[in-house]
Structure 1
């Protein structure tokens, strides 16, 4: 499985994570028009649930109590990860991105047909933290306490998190 990982340092506002963001190009085949169902099925099979369908917020935000996976079911987008000084990643239908708790993300641009399927590890429900949040010490403690998922959302028990998130 081809992946790319990026590690972001705490920028003083967006905490980011000690674990890298993982990009999975072409995690599912979008050509049959059923990529949303394929992502939901893949994520659920690997123990990731509480899924939703929507887009990506156009402002910097992160989750202090959950890891999140995004599956691009249709369209394309440019997303800034890691805060204002982070990295812009272009994603398109079929790609997935695993975002560790604390890593900032913001949609910079998107095609009109963008559809994202999101999910979280079992028993995790994401909060919504924005840049400039108060109680930075408490937020960083929550992020450090988020348990690792049992399985990688795309690769299962032997997926990239088995070696990159240790």
Structure 2
């Protein structure tokens, strides 16, 4: 049985978030012992019409950001971390925005562990921090993070060395390109972000009602 956690994140002064809930499927992927985990996740995403575009290894923290034109799926391949959803950083000092008062009020902090899947409606702010094992931030796939630059994408993903806290990211194949909005860019135009077309399939649950097809209206 699939465990589905939902988080309804209201808009803030700087972040649109979404009328649709953030979806979290804890431990959905069977990560133990698989030598081709990234390739298997790629197959699952592809079968549901989602395009794998990157694998990142995350550093100790990052800037909170959102994507204004695309829904996003992030699946945890290795490691653990915390992810803060729903609020913008208000300080350029990463330590202050992560551990101090340099952020908007509100939001939720969720534990992210290997096997977890997150589905973020367009506009949802997110910030990954407290990663374990600790490592430097790095794009592990060939390309610029908007596609996997390889003739055989599946083979390229299967050969990525997964170290630290890593996630694989995918977006609807017919959806918009992801941008890196830090907050305030869409002030007064949140409805535009909220109108990004809902995909026909959940990236991992397909058309099952437990997934976005039943949860997003």
Q: Distance in 2 between matches of 1:142 and 1:122?
A: 20
Superposition map of 1:15-54 within 5 A: 15-33=16-34, 34-54=36-56
The structure having more radius of gyration, on CA atoms, is: 2
The reply on whether 1:156 has 2:206 as its aligned counterpart is yes
RMSD, matched Cα? 1.5
Q: Which runs of 4+ in 1 moved over 4 A?
A: none
1:60 corresponding residue in structure 2: 64
Answer yes or no: is the 8 Å Cα contact 1:63–1:128 preserved in 2.
Answer: yes
Q: Distance in 1 between matches of 2:38 and 2:82?
A: 19
The structure showing larger relative contact order (alpha-carbon pairs under 8 Å, at least 6 residues apart) is 2
Question: 3-state DSSP class of the match of 1:61?
Answer: coil
1:5 corresponding residue in structure 2: 6
The reply on whether 1:79 has 2:96 as its aligned counterpart is no
Larger % of strand: which? Answer: 1
Report the CA distance shift for 1:50/1:36 in structure 2 as closer, same or farther (over 3 A): closer
Q: Structure 1-normalised TM-score?
A: 0.92
1:122 corresponding residue in structure 2: 173
Shift of 1:50: 4.2
Q: Deviations over 1:45-84 (max 9, x none)?
A: 1111042110457111000000000010111110000114
Shift of 1:118: 0.2
Q: Distance in 1 between matches of 2:3 and 2:167?
A: 20
